[in-house]
Amino acid sequence: MKFIIFNGSPSGKNGSTGIMGNAFLKGAEKAGAQVEHVFLSEKNIGYCKGCFTCWFQTPGTCVMKDDMEELMEKYRQADVVCFATPVFTWNMTANLKAFVDRLAPLKSPLIVRREDDFDLADAVSKTQKFVIISNCGFPGKNNFETLKQVVASCNPVLEIYRNCGKLLKSKDEQVQRKVSQYLEAVEQAGYEMAASGEVSEKTRKSLEMELMPVQEYVRYLGM
Ligand SMILES: Cc1cc2nc3c(=O)[nH]c(=O)nc-3n(C[C@H](O)[C@H](O)[C@H](O)COP(=O)(O)O)c2cc1C
């Protein structure tokens, strides 16, 4: 079983999103999965031109020649695809959006209707499961609302949203103890996904743990 994270944090390996992603993959690897963490900030990914050549002239193949060729292959081969991003202005980062737009060759120009909604058909039926990992700088759950709606279209089996994300990189020992406890829960989620294809209610609940009361966090940020 292959797990791949496409991480859209501009901070790449040094980001809080990366810390969460590493914990998730560590758990998956312990359960026997092959894992890969792709940092999109290190890749050359041009913006989709919107030419639709990948639908009408060369179905499934993009005209642009850059790192997407290699990444698309990795995407196709994965069993579990994880989109990871910090919240930037309520949404995914531009890095991840550029990547997701370039997945257009996976769609076909056939409109399908589901009740009152319309979508494009997949060129090849999806076999992957989708996971979302995100962190944001502010406290409160509202910062993830836009992102949640955006990612709903890929029907994620698991969504891990971490507010107060700055704490993930804290040097304070007391904070680090709490963060370690949280990252163990993220690791457990990765383990369960790889071992059984699903994540228990107990683990899902522990992913919601508070890292620090809001007032204390605001003081911690110095804002
Ligand atoms: C341009 C920009 C926009 C941001 N927008 C939000 C936001 O809307 N809500 C929020 O809670 N945090 C926001 N943040 C804070 C980031 O989500 C936070 O710093 C996060 O921990 C960065 O993760 P990373 O280290 O993986 O890049 C923003 C940061 C930047 C630079």
Q: What is residue 97's predicted lDDT score, i.e. its pLDDT?
A: 98
Please give the number of the atom of ligand 1 that sits closest to the Cα of 9.
Answer: 27
Residue 116 has pLDDT above 90, yes or no: no
Determine what percent of the chain is predicted with pLDDT higher than 90: 87
Let me know: does 174 contact 140? Beta carbons within 8 Å. Answer: no
In terms of residue numbers, what domain contains 136? Answer: 2-221
Q: Give the Å distance between the CA of 41 and the centre of ligand 1.
A: 15
Beta bridge partners of residue 135, listed in sequence order: 86, 162
Give the pLDDT confidence of 73-113 residue by residue, as tens digits: 999 999 999 999 999 999 999 999 999 999 999 988 788 88
Least confident segment among 54-68, 119-133, 155-169, 178-192: 119-133
Report residue 65's pLDDT band, with 50, 70 and 90 as the boundaries. very high
Tokens standing for 34?
């092959």
Where do runs of H (alpha helix) occur along 16-116? 16-30, 53-56, 68-77, 94-101
Q: Give the Å distance between the CA of 33 and the centre of ligand 1.
A: 30
Total domains in the fold of the chain: 1
Q: What is residue 60's predicted lDDT score, i.e. its pLDDT?
A: 92
Where residue 171 sits, what CATH number does that domain have?
Answer: 3.40.50.360
Residue 141 has pLDDT above 90, yes or no: no
Please give the number of the atom of ligand 1 that sits closest to the Cα of 19.
Answer: 26
Of residues 161, 157, 151, the one with CA closest to residue 186: 161
DSSP secondary-structure letter at 153? G
